[in-house]
Amino acid sequence: MTTAAPLLQVQGLQVAYGTPAAPVPVVRGVSFTLGREKLAVVGESGSGKTTVGRALLKLLPQQARISAERLQFDGVDLLQAGERDMQALRGRRLSMIMQDPKYSLNPVMSIGRQIGEAVQRDGKVQRAECDERVEALLARVRIREPKRVAAQYPHEVSGGMGQRVMIAMMLAQRPQLLIADEPTSALDVSVRQEVLGLLDELVAEQGLALLFISHDLNLVKHFCDRVLVMYAGRIVETLAAADLRQASHPYTRGLMASLPSLRHPRAVLPVLQRDAAWSAA
Ligand SMILES: Nc1ncnc2c1ncn2[C@@H]1O[C@H](COP(=O)(O)OP(=O)(O)OP(=O)(O)O)[C@@H](O)[C@H]1O
Ligand SMILES: [Mg+2]
């Protein structure tokens, strides 16, 4: 028996802004595979995490130039896929919860209608049934008073609610792969645990593959299976989440050392000392 190829294969992904004559590379040869697991992407602000996620969905601004040796998703060559092919994939099979939900939601359409559209994409249903499903999805992401929230517009909900609305839209379509960009950063601790529990359930029960972009090393250490550590557009280390404390790259070690710990309180937390060699080719 041959082993099945991983759901997602990324080889030598590069993204550059600027002009062809003066390119500004922001993702510089990223390679990884993703199966039915929780894979974290960590790294400091500007290291290219969101750009990698958006490149997979081909949702980068027009001036961005993407190249790769391989970008394969469940038998589909994403490099060859045109906008029409991507539209058929987005949401249904390949989904992303954006870091800035407020900008990703349509400002002139009620929350309920937006989730309703996602519900309808799965197969047409009557209005009443659609409304019912929308409210059930909002309740599933722990939004109280789902009927009231469904009638609201994006500017009327908080950041944390916006994130949960995005998650509800994703749940309506049951993708195979979910890229979650800081999905819990605007949530308070109790809601955060519930949303993480929901994502966990999707991975365990529906075999969802999860690419989990986060700044929060403590969270990733407990929640994810594996971790990709990015620095200046490159993956500098890939390791099991459980091994984060034994990381070998000095950048990852520096990040871990600068986390506060209740068990070992320190008066001064160390500041990460960067080395130019980390971003060298
Ligand atoms: N539209 C754009 N035009 C030019 N440069 C861009 C554009 N979008 C992003 N960049 C640059 O790409 C780099 C990577 O950005 P990206 O948003 O992927 O970082 P990130 O790791 O997600 O950061 P954060 O943790 O702050 O979300 C940054 O240096 C950023 O300035
Ligand atoms: Mg980002």
17 touches ligand 1 (CB under 6 Å)? yes
What does the alpha-carbon distance between residue 101 and residue 256 come to, in Å, rounded to a whole number?
29
Quick one: pLDDT at residue 215? 85
Each residue's pLDDT tens digit, 65-82 = 999 999 999 999 999 999
In which band, very low, low, confident or very high, does the pLDDT at 281 lie, cut at 50, 70 and 90? low
Each residue's pLDDT tens digit, 215-241 = 888 899 999 999 999 999 999 999 999
| H-assigned helices in the chain | 49-56, 83-89, 101-104, 111-121, 127-140, 146-150, 159-173, 189-206, 217-223, 250-257
Q: Domain extents for the chain? A: 8-93+176-279, 102-174
Each residue's pLDDT tens digit, 124-163 = 899 999 999 999 999 998 899 999 999 999 999 988 888 8
Position in ligand 1 atom list of the atom nearest CA 15: 12
The CATH label, of 1.20.1180.10, 3.40.50.1970, 3.40.50.300, 3.40.50.2300, for the domain at 8-93+176-279 is 3.40.50.300
50 touches ligand 1 (CB under 6 Å)? yes
Could you give the maximum distance between any two Cα atoms of the chain, in Å? 61
Residue range 261-273: mean pLDDT, rounded: 72
With 60 as the cut, is the pLDDT of residue 172 above it? yes
- Burial class for 8, CB neighbours closer than 10 Å (0-12, 13-18, 19+): buried
Which DSSP letter does residue 237 get? E
| Protein residue with least CA distance to atom 16, ligand 1 | 48
Quick one: pLDDT at residue 3? 63
The residue that leads in pLDDT, 84 or 257, is 84
Position in ligand 1 atom list of the atom nearest CA 17: 4
Instruction: Report the chain's C-alpha Rg in angstroms.
Output: 20
What does the alpha-carbon distance between residue 148 and residue 151 come to, in Å, rounded to a whole number?
5
Each residue's pLDDT tens digit, 45-57 = 999 999 999 999 9
